[in-house]
Structure 1
Amino acid sequence: MLPPFSVNVEKRVVKTPNLYFVDTGLASYLTRWTDSEVLRSGAMSGAFFETYIVGEVLKSFCNAGIEPPLYFYRDKDKIEIDLIIFLNNTVYPVEIKKTATPKAD
C-alpha cells in the first residue's frame, strides 16, 4: 500500500492509500490479462507498467535496507503524482507514463 503524501493536512487531498501488487504476474493472472500482447498494448497496459515501476522502486529501497519513503499525491480535482519519493527532506515527484512521447502537462 502506498500512502498519500501530505505535508499540511488539506481537505482537498485524497487520503486513501493506493494498492499495488508487487508481483505483476499475479496481478495479470488475477485480472485474466495473461496474454503478453494485451499486457503490452491493451487498455490496462499503463496501469500494469505503473505497478511494475512502483514495485521495482519499492524493492530497490528494501534491498538497500532502507524503509521506502514512497507516497503518491491526488486531490479531489483528480490532479495526481504517481509516485513521490521523500528522501533527505527533498520531494522527488515521479510521473509514470508508458509512452515514447510524453506530453509536458
Structure 2
Amino acid sequence: MRAARGLPARLLPRGPPVRVPPKLGRDLDYCSTHNDLCRNGGICLTDAFNSYRCNCSVEFEGRHCERRKKADCSMIDCGVGVCVMSATPECECPAGYAGARCEYSSEYHR
C-alpha cells in the first residue's frame, strides 16, 4: 500500500478496545429494525452507510415504492404476441394463439 505524501502507509489502533454504547450499535442492520419502510412488496436493503434503499417490484417506484408506475408495454410479456397500448397495455396475439398473454395455442386443442 502506498501512502499519500506526508501520511503513514497504515494506521494501526493503539490502546484499549473501544466499547460501542448499545444505543449506537443497535441499528447496524437498518432494515431489521425498520421493517415497514418499503411498501407494495418492496424489499428493504441496508447499505454500507447504515441507511437503506427499497428494491421495488416491477409495478412500483419511489423511495419507498409508494407510487404505481404508469402502465406501459415494458411491464408485460406477450409471449408470441405483440403488446399494443390502448387505455392499458394489451397483447395482440397472432393467428392460432389466444389468452391474455397469448399463452394458449389452438394447435394443442385439436
With the length of structure 1 as denominator, give the TM-score of the two structures.
Answer: 0.24
Structure with max Cα Rg: 2
Tell which has more relative contact order, 1 or 2 (C-alpha 8 A, sep 6+): 1
Larger helix share, 1 or 2:
1
With the length of structure 2 as denominator, give the TM-score of the two structures.
Answer: 0.23
